[in-house]
Amino acid sequence: MSGDLIHLERNGAVAVLTLARPAKLNALTQAMVERLERLADELDRDEAIRAVILTGTGERAFCAGADIADWGGLEPLAFGRRWVRDGHRCFDHLARLRQPLIAALNGAALGGGLELAACADLRLAEAHARLGLPEARVGIIPGWSGTQRLVRRIGGPSVKRLVLTGEPIDAAEALRIGLVDEVVPTGQGLARARALAAGIAERAPVAVELAKLLVNLAEGEEVAAAVEAIAGALAHGTADAKEGIAAFRARRPPVFRGR
């Protein structure tokens, strides 16, 4: 069922993930979150893909957040253990994709939908889009890193305004505060995202991957993994590493030369 609600399209070096639940404003269910995580893992391992786009179906919403029908009846411990933690794991995976992630906001991005958009490296909003964190209106708080990752994106004061008032802002205001990187005419978000992704896919893929990893490191997005990935790749490429592996296989003492 979740496969019908999230589509994956590959076109050369660019992949497009589409939330396809327009009748419910592309609101996320538990099954959709689980499928998003599986697809993120699949794309991260796909060496042919150099850029990923995330968008929604229809003109009304990119994603209206988490479907209250899925989480509203959960007991508190189940809500924390499954809904919140599973969402964090999925969104962390999207934010830490090896490839650049572009969110094309084809409409409203509210609550969990805005937190999903925050996972992207670049965000494009169509002119009619509205963005907000309305959780306080139903007695909860942002649970998928709205008070954490979004702060790293746009700073505490702007996030406090969204969280404490629960009022959405329009695309122009989102651009002003840095919540989106570009505003495009209604109906042109995906086309613009495809053009950006195609340009990124033409760049040197290892340089792009390392640049993203370094910026993530500066933001505190994945400190331990980023440091060890970069240092590990550097060490693995040395002559000493080749000598160490060869010596291990030959069951002899290695002769390291510091290069």
Asked if 75 is an active-site residue, the reply is no
Query: Is residue 47 annotated as a catalytic residue, yes or no?
Result: no
Q: How far apart are CA 17 and CA 62, in angstroms?
A: 12
Provide CB contacts within 8 A for 200, sequence distance 6+.
Answer: 50, 51, 100, 208
The CA distance from 253 to 209, in Å, is 36
Question: Distance between CA atoms of 84 and 146, rounded to whole angstroms?
Answer: 12
Active-site hit among 34, 37, 75, 135: 135
Helix (H, G, I), strand (E, B) or coil at 209: helix
Angle, CA of 22, 26 and 162, to the nearest 5°: 130
Q: Which of 37, 115, 126, 221 is catalytic?
A: 115
Encoded tokens for 192? 């613009």
Buried b (16+ CB within 10 A) or exposed e, 140-170: eebbbbbbebbbbbbeeebbebbbeebebbb
The residues annotated with a catalytic role in the active site are 115, 135
